[in-house]
Amino acid sequence: MSLVITVARVEDVTALIQSAASLFQEDGGQRDPFMDANWPTRNGLDYYLGMITSARSLALLARRDSTEGTVVGHLTGQMRAPNELRPNAVVAELVSMRVTEEQRGHGVGAKLVEHFFSWAKEQGANQATVSAYASNTDAVCFYQGRGFQPELIGLKIDLSSLDQQA
pLDDT per residue as tens digits for the range 46-100: 999 999 999 999 999 999 988 889 999 999 999 998 889 999 999 999 999 999 9
Q: What pairs with residue 98 in β-bridges?
A: 74
Closest CA to 18 of 132, 138, 98: 98
Of residues 76 and 164, the one with the higher pLDDT is: 76
What is residue 165's predicted lDDT score, i.e. its pLDDT? 66
Q: Which domains does the chain have, with CATH numbers?
A: 3-153 (3.40.630.30)
The helix/strand/coil state of 10 is helix
* pLDDT bucket at 160, cuts 50 / 70 / 90: confident
- The overall longest dimension of the chain from CA atoms, in Å, is 59
pTM of this structure: 0.92
